[in-house]
Amino acid sequence: MMAGSYATKGAGDNVTRTSKKDEALYLMLTEALPGFLISDFLKCQRLPSLPSIALRILRLTQSSKATINDVADTIEHDPALTARLISLANSVHHTRSANSTQTCLEAVQRLGLDAALTVVLSFNLFQHSSKGPQHTHIWRRSIMSALIARQLAEQACPKQAGHAFTASLLQDIGILALSATYPEQVDELYIDSAIPHAHLIEEEQRYFGCDHTVIGAWLAAKWGIPSAMVNSIRFSHAGFTSESLMEMCVRISGPTADACLSSAPEEQFAALIVDLSATAGVPSFSFKSVLQEVQPKMELIAKTLMIDPPAAIDPKELLENAQQLLLNHTLVLNSRREAQFKALTMLRKGYGAPGEFNKDIAFKKLSTQSRSKP
């Protein structure tokens, strides 16, 4: 039996059975959304959905007891998805030997579980979405965040690394619902990929009365995704503080991905380091090892999905430059404080200590007052 209450296997049943969605959570999230959004979402014919096969695979990857064989067996119940995985595994990007992939199991083994899950979700969620650069950026950010979250979790809570990966991969799915329902407004809203994600959320609230984290959580609850993951999506963009290390890894993954994908990564990493150092309870992560692990995997998945990979970065150089920026900033601040202290000291000397009389200053004041009289 699979771990948890969301999936079981019976005799002669190779397909994992899924549970019903958490109706209470779904209703709570429905009430949290503006009425016009719910009405428009439910009328939208292109609203993203996950078929049962994708949900089964999603839940399988959350179990610490699931094997590659389990995942491959489940994928094989979808012939179109199986064919795509085998085709991708046989592409020039993955062929490392003369032997071609013949089965779904071989394809998953060659691609890896993370890449296979990303392909599954991409195949189901993005096959009808816009192919514009802003949507490519959003999906690239989601993949980068997921890979980063897994590596952070491997350092802080290894048994929950799979949960962190999937929650981060799905953290921006609310944007898909908005894009399907309001394509023109969303194209305008997300046209500049350089806009900080925090600012994007503010703009969503101004446009729609809520942001994509609430919408994404509602969408996930509607699909029947486990409640823990629904809540991870809902609070994925909250502050870094969390009682759950896994949740913390998810929350840190987005800003880290933004830094990696920005045109000025050193500056964003410097700001991220400051924010993390000011947050109590954040583990001492090795971002150098995180980025070293993430970069080749990101390139592989990007090629698999036929999207442009992000610009290559040197983790060591990037972090050293970020630390140097912080040092320079600290030196400038210290210099300003020293100059202010000196100016204040001179001012105090000029006017004398409290209770004392400074004849020179008093004489100058008296002379100025005398000249000003008619």
Per-residue pLDDT of 314-344, as tens digits, reads 888 988 888 888 777 766 666 666 667 667 7
Task: Categorize the per-residue pLDDT at 133 as very low, low, confident or very high, splitting at 50, 70 and 90.
Answer: low
Structure tokens at 193: 């990929």
pTM (2 decimals)? 0.79
C-alpha pair distances (Å), 39 with each of 36, 43, 59: 5, 6, 29
Largest CA distance in the chain: 110
The pLDDT tens digits for 91-121 are: 755 555 557 888 999 989 888 888 888 988 8
Count of CB atoms within 10 A of residue 5's CB? 8
Angle in degrees, CA 46, 48, 53, rounded to 5: 125
The pLDDT tens digits for 158-206 are: 988 988 999 999 999 999 899 889 988 888 888 776 777 888 888 899 9
Q: Higher confidence at residue 30 or residue 13? A: 30
Segment 270-288 shows an average pLDDT of 88
pLDDT of residue 150: 94
The 3-state secondary structure of the chain, one letter per residue = CCCCCCEECCCCCCCCEECCCCHHHHHHHHHHCCHHHHHHHHHCCCCCCCCHHHHHHHHHHHCCCCCHHHHHHHHCCCHHHHHHHHHHHCCCCCCCCCCCCCCHHHHHHHHCHHHHHHHHHHHHHCCCCCCCHHHHHHHHHHHHHHHHHHHHHHHHCHHHHHHHHHHHHCCCCHHHHHHHHCHHHHHHHCCCCCCCHHHHHHHHHHHHCCCHHHHHHHHHHHHCCCHHHHHHHHCCCCCCCCCCHHHHHHHHHHHHHHHHHCCCHHHHHHHHHHHHHCCCCCCCCCHHHHHHHHHHHHHHHHHHCCCCCCCCCCHHHHHHHHHHHHHHHHHHHHHHHHHHHHHHHHHHHHHCCCCCCCHHHHHHHHHHHHHHCC
Q: Hunting for tokens 């920026």 — which residue is that?
A: 325
284 pLDDT more than 50:
yes
Whole-angstrom distance, CA of residue 260 vs CA of residue 309: 12
At a CB cut-off of 8 Å and minimum separation 6, what does 115 contact?
297, 300, 301, 304
Lowest-confidence region among 7-16, 34-43, 99-108, 236-245: 7-16
Whole-angstrom distance, CA of residue 222 vs CA of residue 220: 5
Q: Kindly report the CATH number that applies to the domain delimited by 7-313.
A: 1.10.3210.10
DSSP bridge partners of 8: 17
At a CB cut-off of 8 Å and minimum separation 6, what does 1 contact?
8, 9
Domain boundaries, the chain: 7-313, 326-372
Structure tokens at 276: 């993390």
Whole-angstrom distance, CA of residue 281 vs CA of residue 15: 41
pLDDT of residue 11: 30
Q: Higher confidence at residue 5 or residue 302? A: 302
pLDDT of residue 293: 93
Segment 115-133 shows an average pLDDT of 74
353 pLDDT more than 90:
no
pLDDT of residue 280: 84
Closest CA to 222 of 38, 2, 372: 38
Are the beta carbons of 175 and 284 closer than 8 angstroms?
Answer: no
Whole-angstrom distance, CA of residue 372 vs CA of residue 93: 86
Task: Categorize the per-residue pLDDT at 366 as very low, low, confident or very high, splitting at 50, 70 and 90.
Answer: very low
- 17-18/7-8 β-pairing: antiparallel
Segment 286-304 shows an average pLDDT of 90
